[in-house]
């Protein structure tokens, strides 16, 4: 594994660990803005960065995408986070299709099967 790739993996793990432990604080005064539920396909709608993480929740995903300088964060299928600078190429889905509980916070929703619950990161 190259040194650059190892450094990237360490950065991702650090962000994920900080978010999980509650040490990460978002540099914003308001909660992330939910933009809606959107369809996805194997050629990802949010195609910048993705992470499958046990204990995923909205705050973790938005923080991760903000850290990597992406404009949008999308939660999908309980434990996936997708980041990108555009969204919606496959169209909107009904909000009821983004109703799976997050693995890290069962009072929070994390999209659905092939459905992104998209938030603005504020960037």
Cα distance between residue 29 and residue 68, in whole Å:
19
Strand pairing of 115-120 and 33-39?
antiparallel
Q: Which of 3-7, 14-18, 40-44, 97-101 has the lowest mean pLDDT?
A: 3-7
Q: What's the start-to-end Cα distance of the chain, in Å?
A: 32
Question: Is 52 a domain residue?
Answer: yes
Least confident of 23-27, 46-50, 57-61, 64-68: 23-27
Distance between CA atoms of 6 and 89, rounded to whole angstroms? 32
Structural domain contains residue 9: no
> Among 20-34, 56-70, 71-85, whose mean pLDDT is lowest?
20-34
Q: Identify the band that residue 31 occupies on the pLDDT scale cut at 50, 70 and 90.
A: confident
Question: What is the extent of the structural domain holding 53?
Answer: 33-120
Residue 74 lies in a domain: yes
Judge whether 45 lies within some domain.
yes
**Res 13: pLDDT:** 52
Strand ranges (E), the chain: 33-39, 49-52, 72-76, 80-84, 115-120
Task: Tell if the pTM clears 0.85, that is, is over it.
Answer: no
Number of domains observed in the structure of the chain: 1
């Amino acid at each position: 594994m190259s040194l650059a790739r190892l450094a990237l993996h360490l950065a991702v793990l650090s962000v994920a660990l900080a978010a999980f432990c509650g040490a990460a604080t978002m540099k914003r005064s308001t909660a992330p803005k939910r933009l809606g539920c959107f369809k996805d396909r194997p050629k990802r709608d949010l195609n910048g960065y993705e992470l499958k993480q046990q204990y995923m929740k909205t705050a973790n995903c938005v923080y991760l995408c903000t850290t990597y300088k992406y404009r949008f964060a999308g939660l999908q299928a309980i434990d996936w986070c997708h980041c990108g600078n555009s969204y919606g190429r496959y169209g909107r889905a009904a909000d009821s299709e983004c109703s799976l509980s997050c693995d890290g916070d069962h009072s929070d929703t994390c999209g659905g099967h092939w459905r992104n619950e998209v938030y603005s990161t504020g960037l």
